[in-house]
Structure 1
């Protein structure tokens, strides 16, 4: 409507006096104007700042703080159950991090649809199996037939251009890989090559069995190499690995190498790399995955766990490997059923007690490989998927993985209560009628705010 009004004004002005009048009226660009001369600018204010600026101190967990009573926590849970916004059924577990004691168990052993809270399990398995310092290499090897082969190693956050050491997305760049390759080819006197793509690190279907339709706008086809997780506008490219190979070929061309074609072909097993680039450490990739709830990264990390364990790098092998890795940490996963590793599948089932057990394990002083998990969770009112949520009593006190599907919601993480006690919790709700998930999420957020504000001792 505003654009139509503007067009109408232009038409009237042109009829009254042509372009010169329109120019003078500041409707069309030009040197004329009827506007008064602008006033002289006011002097810039001279603001005196105090000499010693210090950041506010936010109280952390207090080992001497009183733990909430089970009766108080049960009352909060009943308030959530009575909230008219909370449709469907929910299960909840709250535990004391200091002692490991379960303070509240409301059907905590009931396996429910976890949505993206499942990523807590995937993150723990990836950190433990791969190690937080591991980097993922993308290499180029010769195959002895006038071809160089781009070999995907699990880095799906490649930059199309040069890598940026200050970022997680785009830490390694295809332009850097091409520059190294071009230099190596020049040393060999080679000026023309075919580009091959080896993306055989992963096998099987590229989507979970029941992930289709609108779900495909939330995850890329699972492949071991991609530019910025294969994103394209509001969705994903159809073949992220091939797109990456074509971007690499274009970068080679810009370096003066003639590229005669691009096609999939396996790399020789014993070939020495001509070039390589490395991703951000796995710990940083896991943090990125948890903060923004990146489904593609979750699926890729789970497949890398399968590769590490020598299992097939498909959906079945990846989910089985995640559970096996957690079992090796002492987590009882007997009640868990997984179809994917991101939480998109509606066939996943996880008891909230398992998620809390993983969180407690991650905060165990002896489980050093997992110590980056809880700090990587979104913080209420600050960042990630909680940037605009839990902005009252939960702000800065709640760290949690969110989860939202059409029929399920979840919230799983930690909270420092008003008394200073550190708790771990998981709330999973499913069986939610279509269209009611947002209201249920608001009710769950209100419960988390109450828990953060709770004296409860």
Structure 2
């Protein structure tokens, strides 16, 4: 009952937002079953705020005349967060922007570069959508040169091991379908026996980021352009050692089942220039893929998305190239990336440094009249308070349930929240809050403080003075 009620409230709220803030298109605002996922990282159970700490508020309904909250009152919320013993030694950065006017309502340390954790994914998502478009799909292809069939990875890491599922995002394209279509073409050519090669050359450089701390193997796979459904391993610590080769071996198995004899072992090699395409399968559109990766905070998917961006803009499709491509696109789109340092696309690297101001500005643009399809898609794909994704268990029965949608961020010493919130008076605000540098083991406390001192009060705010 709680989720159904919240879903209805969220959809209704954002459709009203659409009438004024440029979100009027029919969005897939109520996430489907694929978006319900566990939190970014295994942590302690999130504590339920004490009764009365967060007052549940029904949004009054959005309109251009909705009262603008007092910047003084909102700044006091940010000050309370910074002074809260729950954040310990952590540095606090907060930016709050009124979406309708672009006015900055809170700027508390907002220009200070801090480790954003998975709020970093907001920057990647905006950039990828801006360049590739919400309807972009990636292909997995089989080619033939001589008697060698080459499986060419195009960036789909949600592949089904057998038949694709056209109505789903995860498993939309199937290696079994590709193998059977390939076998049909080979048979038509009179070919019954082949060798198989794997072309995973779309991505370059190391498959593992040296900026990631030891132990992160539980939260991200080796970054390759071809994988069987990577979400099956999300935060499980059981990612395959060589995901692309695992997919190639599955393709070989399916070819054999389809009547084609495969000789020898799979070798890594680029598809030759003279190779002809035999068959291909396509992923779900990018807007649906992002809905999975953003709501579940999937690090592998986001790193792949960053490399697809780099490839599209003719940067090296490596960690460095992806980070450079994100920075370049943000700059091209008019954002000030001064003092921003990106070492990856997902936010796993502690060395990432992003001013909260930049995060809030991206969200404010996305929610505003100029956000376009890029902005509408980004917002629709974020987790919703008390409903789904990494916010499934936060803001339940409290202010922000169904009216706050945001990207979470969680590292051992950094916590963040970046998104939009509707105040009790019906004003749409974009916000970003980062708490960075608290003592190891303080993540749950920092997240509690963010919700108790800032995010919840923003949602409950009827505060004009």
CA contact (8 A) 2:113 2:340 kept: yes
CA contact (8 A) 1:406 1:437 kept: yes
Match of 2:94 among 86, 92, 95: 92
Q: Which has the higher contact order (CA 8 A, sep 6+)?
A: 2
Match of 1:277 among 273, 276, 281: 281
3-state DSSP class of the match of 2:418?
Answer: strand
Alignment of 1:141-156 (within 5 A): 141-144=143-146, 146-156=147-157
Q: Offset at 1:289?
A: 1.1
Aligned to 1:4: none
3-state DSSP class of the match of 2:377?
Answer: coil
Matches of 2:401 and 2:183 in 1, distance apart? Answer: 51
Alignment of 1:294-443 (within 5 A): 294-370=298-374, 371-391=376-396, 392-443=398-449
CA contact (8 A) 2:296 2:389 kept: yes
Q: Offset at 1:212?
A: 4.1
Match of 2:247 among 237, 244, 248: 244
Match of 2:272 among 261, 268, 271: 268
Matches of 2:368 and 2:429 in 1, distance apart? Answer: 13
Aligned to 1:115: 117
Matches of 1:330 and 1:361 in 2, distance apart? Answer: 10
Aligned to 2:293: 289
Aligned to 1:68: 69
Alignment RMSD, CA only?
1.4
**Is 1:254 aligned to 2:257, yes or no?**
yes
CA contact (8 A) 2:316 2:322 kept: yes
Q: Offset at 1:350?
A: 0.1
TM-score, structure 1 length as denominator? Answer: 0.86
Q: Which runs of 5+ in 1 are unaligned?
A: 1-54
After superposition, give the CA deviation of every residue in 1:321-378 in whole Å (9 maximum; x if it has no partner).
0110111110111221011110000110000000111112222333424121011110
Q: Offset at 1:390?
A: 1.3
After superposition, give the CA deviation of every residue in 1:393-421 in whole Å (9 maximum; x if it has no partner).
11001000000100100000000000000
Matches of 2:307 and 2:215 in 1, distance apart? Answer: 23
C-alpha change, 1:212 and 1:91, in structure 2 (3 Å) is closer
Question: Matched residue pairs, number?
Answer: 402
Matches of 1:330 and 1:309 in 2, distance apart? Answer: 17
Q: Offset at 1:231?
A: 4.8
Larger Rg belongs to: 1
Matches of 1:366 and 1:81 in 2, distance apart? Answer: 33
